[in-house]
Structure 1
Amino acid sequence: MDIFVHQLKKIDHHIKKEVNLMCTWYYAESKSLSFFIEKAQRLPLAYSIMNAMVKSTKMSGNIRPTDMAAVIAPNKSGNMSIYPMIWGFTHETFKHPLINCRVETADIKEIWHDSWARRRCIIPASWYYEFGVLPSESEFQGVRDERRLKKEKFAIQPEGSEITYLAGLYRFEEHQGAQVPMFAVLTRESVEPVSTIHDRMPLILAKDNLKEWIHPDGDPKKIAKLALTNMVMEKAVDYPEPKPAFMQI
């Protein structure tokens, strides 16, 4: 029994490392991402997920773990299609959803291995958020006071891109008798300027690499090496949540 408990603690520790890799939300602008959002909303699967998970089909504005989102994944022919999915794998030994997966270990960890090999997806976002303190501000306040500094929220996206394509993995889970697709966002070591506030960032792909990434026969390691690294970052403002359709008059 003691050995079993010890193993559960080890699993829980590894999961916590996965969960706390990056900021836990991104923004989906309804106008620029309308093509993806509207297609996902029209699918019967969206209503099946809504009933099983008691989740809104809005899929725009601030997207957080356990929210429904529009995701690009392969159809039965291996071609790119759009589906609604829920953010976060569930795990019986941990109460929080697994929202992030390290790209460095995705092919060897049991919970990610199968999805890495056969079920890869893309999450269209406008930008993602990260919280941190710029080095200049922490130096000004002094190292001893660094922990007391209030972390700022930053909006981050690839330079010159209207859409931020986050690389992810997905799988199907049974919830309330329904097969629900769940996704997680892949992360990598951060690059400047993101590295000034956090050591991890999402794996972000160029539009030209999306098709090969999601295809079951694609080479994920090859595409991951082509991830975008030229990021722009600025302090974020609190964008208002979009109103429901019936209120947009």
Structure 2
Amino acid sequence: MCTWFYAEKTALSPIISKAQKNPLAQTIMINLARPLAMSGNIRPTDMAAVFAPNKRGDMAVYPMIWGFTHDSSPKPLINCRVETAELKSVWKDSWFRRRCIIPASWYYEWGIPPMENGYRPIAGQNNIKKVKYAIQPEGAEITYLAGLYRFEEHRGVKVPVFAVLTREACAPVRDIHDRMPLIFRKEDLRDWVRPDSDPKSIAEKALTKMVVEKAVDYPEPVPEFMQI
């Protein structure tokens, strides 16, 4: 799963800056009332900096809104299972033609802390408070989340929206949750976003070694107009 991620402004500054300078970012901010910061805690329906192909098929940075809208759900569809992406109509076209990468510092997951002996009776799990964890690839400063995107019309404005692809979790993530995002190395990003590449073969290159730590609640960034 991935329902919330963090974009550390310093590490991601070059990427975020390019997205903010795109005229589409101003359009989204004015017409859809989305913050232009694209840093700090990023939640569904927020605007984020995303890698996607330009008209030549090369990787470029764009501002996008997190979540597909669909008649079947009152809430945005923010995650897509990689195992069924090519089968379901809501994802199929994007799976083959519109793939993207969402750069983050780490993503969050809420789970029940594992026992030292590795066993916890199911009957007692409902009474245990879930803990928020920060998860990122081992040895990485940037977490490259794989996603799909498409264009939707909102309030008369055509905007790109994205969803994060998820897969079956690997250890140690599976100790707290059965799903995790599809995450790539920097070397695989261009192949993933290219419209003519094979997504299934590239998905097999996804990273599996993750670092899981109890999350720290970082303060929200101060809006630019309030900064001195």
Instruction: State the TM bucket, normalised to the shorter chain.
Output: over 0.9
Give the corresponding residue for 2:66: 87
Quote the residue 1:235 is aligned against. 214
Gaps of 5+ in 2: none
Distance 1:59 1:138 in 2: 41
Contact kept? 2:2, 2:164, Cα under 8 Å = no
Q: Secondary structure at the match of 2:140?
A: coil
Q: Distance in 2 between matches of 1:39 and 1:141?
A: 47
Aligned-residue sequence identity (percent) comes to 65
Equivalent residue runs for 1:23-172 within 5 Å: 23-136=2-115, 143-172=122-151
Inter-partner Cα distance in structure 1 for 2:115 and 2:95? 38
Alpha-carbon distance in structure 2 between the residues aligned to 1:219 and 1:35: 29
Match of 1:203 in 2: 182
Q: Provide Cα deviations, 1:119-169, integer angstroms capped at 9, x if missing partner.
A: 000000000000001220797875432211000000000000000000000
**C-alpha deviation, 1:246, in angstroms:** 3.9
Amino acid paired to 2:7: A
Larger Rg over CA atoms: 1
What secondary structure, in the 3-state scheme, does the structure 1 residue paired with 2:9 have?
Answer: coil
1:185 is matched with which residue: 161, 164, 174? 164
* Distance in 2, Cα, partners of 1:143 & 1:80: 46
Name the Cα RMSD after superposition.
1.5
SS of corresponding position for 2:26: helix
TM-score w.r.t. the length of structure 1 is 0.88
Letter in 1 for 2:134: A
Change (3 A) 1:138 1:107: same
- Structure-2-length-normalised TM-score: 0.96
Q: Tell me the distance in 1 between the aligned counterparts of 2:188 and 2:118.
A: 40
How do 1:202-221 and structure 2 match up within 5 A? Answer: 202-221=181-200
The residue type paired with residue 88 of structure 1 is: G
Q: Which digits, 9 at most, give the CA deviation of each residue in 1:13-71, with x for residues without a partner?
A: xxxxxxxxx24100000000001111101111001112232211110000000000000
Q: Given that residues 23 and 131 in structure 1 are in contact (C-alpha distance below 8 angstroms), is that contact kept between their aligned partners in structure 2?
A: no
Q: Which structure is higher in helix share?
A: 1
Aligned length: 228
